Amino acid sequence: MKISREDVLRVAQLAHLDLAPEEVETYRGQLDEILAYVGKLQEIDVSNVEPMTQMQPRSADGAATADAKAEPELRDDVVVPCNVADAVLAEAPDAAKPFFRVPKVIER
Amino acid sequence: MSAAPTWTIASVRDALASKKTSARELTKDFYAQIERRNPELNAFLALCPERAYAQADRVDAALGKGHPLPPLAGVPVAIKDVISTQGVRTTCGSKILETYTPPYDATAIERLEKTGAVILGKTNCDEFAMGSSNENSAYGPVRNPAALDRVPGGSSGGAAAVVAAGLAVVSLGTDTGGSIRQPGAYCGVPAMMPTYGRVSRYGLIAFASSLDRIGPFATNIADTATVLSIIAGRDPNDSTSAAVAVPDYLGEIEKPIAGLRIGVPEDYFGAGLDPEVKAKVLAGIALLEKLGCKRVPLKMPHTDYAIATYYIVATAEASSNLARYDGVRYGVRVPGSTLMDMYRKTRERGFGPEVKRRIMLGTYALSSGYYDAYYLRAQKVRSLIARDFADAFEKVDAILTPTAPTPAFKLGEKTADPLAMYLADIYTVTGSLAGVPGISVPCGKTAAGLPIGMQIFASHFAEGRILQLARAFEKAGGFSI
């Protein structure tokens, strides 16, 4: 058993999930089984391997391939009109234009 | 059992041009079919008749004035419910977005409508595209039109089922680890995952950003090529969309395939592969050989590590992407005594079990003390899997494999065992991790009549070659081999 109840509760707290008591044991067992399976990644020697941190196509030696630009094309940094505030706030569960309203976070 | 789909993009075009029907009439016919079939299939989550008829009327008006028809004029299409549609409810199959109506259209949607497509509605899927059977939808599972007691595959189960059942001519799905190709195989329709960056994801609600892709379902390869050529290409609103020219996929599908080298990796034909699936896919490969392709045996040694790699990388990204659902800006809010209490209650009640499981797995893999052992290591193994593909494409023009290890399984068969469910993606996640394009094409049926899929991979941006092989295979009768 790699994953304890405390691990599940710690992760649920980090992920802002208010798990019901019966869920804790279910997830503990399932995460334990999945992580045991994932453990097979430890079999591979990765000491000389770079992590794949971006998705631009690369050839076998790691060089960017000729048929795609290595760097994404970026827009000019200019202000463009964006009058979406009303449409966006209309989707909010609780809004008071121009704000989203949430439970009080500052005590006075 | 389903009636075979009868309409194609070309037949819609002919019928409109020869005035056999109007776009409005056709739209009406499709809605009538949907009304009849959807109660048993549960494939559509929302319909948008106002939008559809307005578009159909625009097409009919243009036709009346003698204007040339755009490529998808009057073609009824369906959209997986993770792609944003302005004014049309978009839930991602989740309770947490039960009330969400996007204020804008995804680029892929804009491009479809600009070329005349009639969007009928939104299709059911696993919650936030997480699943391989469509059983993780908060709105109930989709049933496979080929066998109603079986799953349609997932996560784009609805998008696959509606095309297979003739309730839309084409549809858009999304593929993160197999979510287009595997349901395509289970439902018996061509299903394409384009290269990472080929199609803009602006307006696609994110699951795992280094993997997510939008792609088409259709009933034939010509329609697959047409839709891909419309949705592909650089979009200034998506910095990950590639500035690579879009070929005329349809114009090139009949190019000869004789002499192409097709790689067959032994790692995809081992233990766990259903014997009937294996036999049909090997017959499919033999057919391509008969058409002049040269078969090359391959080894892709890191294939066996792909599922483990995928379920770390994808869940890590999901845990980050899904942090945005907190009851503040959109979707459902469950009230709480404090801000934190509101977040936690909203997420606990809004997300279903698989989404919570993946958020926790991803959070664990990224958390202090575990990052190096899980996330960083998985990213390194991902490099090795990508290298397997790069090495293979030094020797071959395409790679041929089964799409999934089994045909569609029964509803409920794997829901109690998340890991068994994950293994349904064992042959598709590899290409997802490597970023290469792939298609699933129908490749006969089992003795019990369940569809089987054969997968074709090619190198980055070589969708044209995939479509040529798929077209030659289709033409030679491979779909019903």
Q: Give the domain ranges of chain A.
A: 1-44
Closest-approach residue (CA) in chain B for A91: B330
Do B175 and B296 lie in one domain? The reply is: no
Q: What is the pLDDT of residue B3?
A: 54
Shortest distance, CA A1 to any CA of chain B (angstroms): 15
Residue ranges of B 125-184 with Cβ closer than 8 A to chain A: none
In three-state secondary structure terms, B133 is: coil
Closest Cβ opposite residue B103 in set A33, A50, A84: A84
Q: Is B195 on the interface with A (CB under 8 A)?
A: yes
Do B314 and B452 lie in one domain? The reply is: no
CATH number, domain A1-44, options 1.10.20.60, 3.40.50.150, 2.60.40.10, 3.40.50.720: 1.10.20.60
Q: What is the pTM of this model?
A: 0.96
**Of the residues B179, B211, B231, which one is the last residue of a structural domain?**
B231
Low-confidence ranges of chain A (pLDDT < 70): 1, 56-73, 108
B4 — pLDDT class (breaks 50, 70, 90): low
Contact A49, B442 (CB under 8 A): no
- Please report whether residue B246 resides in a domain: no
Report CB contact under 8 Å: B243, A51: no
pLDDT (tens digit per residue) in B198-224: 999 999 999 999 999 999 999 999 999
Residue B339: both structure tokens together:
């801000």
Closest Cβ opposite residue A52 in set B239, B347, B379: B379
pLDDT (tens digit per residue) in B337-396: 999 999 999 999 999 999 999 999 999 999 999 999 999 999 999 999 999 999 999 999
Shortest distance, CA A53 to any CA of chain B (angstroms): 7
Q: What is the pLDDT of residue A63?
A: 44
With 80 as the cut, is the pLDDT of residue B430 above it?
Answer: yes
- Please report whether residue B1 resides in a domain: no
Do B56 and B158 lie in one domain? The reply is: yes
Q: Domain tally for chain B?
A: 3
Q: What is the pLDDT of residue B473?
A: 98
Do B148 and B215 lie in one domain? The reply is: yes
Report CB contact under 8 Å: A68, B338: no
Contact B60, B23 (CB under 8 A): yes
Do B25 and B166 lie in one domain? The reply is: yes
CATH number of the domain bearing residue B110:
3.90.1300.10
Q: What is the pLDDT of residue A2?
A: 83
Shortest distance, CA A67 to any CA of chain B (angstroms): 7
Q: Which residues of B touch A16 (CB under 8 A)?
A: 323, 326, 340, 343-344, 347
- DSSP state for residue B378 in the 8-state scheme: H
Report CB contact under 8 Å: B329, A91: yes
Do B104 and B26 lie in one domain? The reply is: yes
Do B58 and B199 lie in one domain? The reply is: yes
Do B43 and B85 lie in one domain? The reply is: yes
With 80 as the cut, is the pLDDT of residue B160 above it?
Answer: yes
- DSSP state for residue B204 in the 8-state scheme: B
Q: Is A25 on the interface with B (CB under 8 A)?
A: no
- Please report whether residue B13 resides in a domain: yes
Contacts 24+ apart (CB under 8 A), B16-22: B16/B59, B16/B63, B16/B69, B16/B73, B16/B74, B17/B63, B17/B69, B22/B56, B22/B60, B22/B63, B22/B74
B2 — pLDDT class (breaks 50, 70, 90): very low
Do B295 and B444 lie in one domain? The reply is: yes
With 90 as the cut, is the pLDDT of residue B399 above it?
Answer: yes
In three-state secondary structure terms, A84 is: coil
Q: What is the pLDDT of residue A61?
A: 43
Q: What is the pLDDT of residue A5?
A: 95
- Please report whether residue B222 resides in a domain: yes
Residue with tokens 């469910």: B421
- Please report whether residue B237 resides in a domain: no
Closest Cβ opposite residue A60 in set B329, B387, B460: B387
Q: What is the pLDDT of residue A72?
A: 61
Do B271 and B354 lie in one domain? The reply is: no
- Please report whether residue B167 resides in a domain: yes
pLDDT (tens digit per residue) in B265-301: 999 999 899 999 999 999 999 999 999 999 999 999 9
Contact B391, B401 (CB under 8 A): no
Do B346 and B422 lie in one domain? The reply is: no
Residue range of the domain that includes B364:
308-372
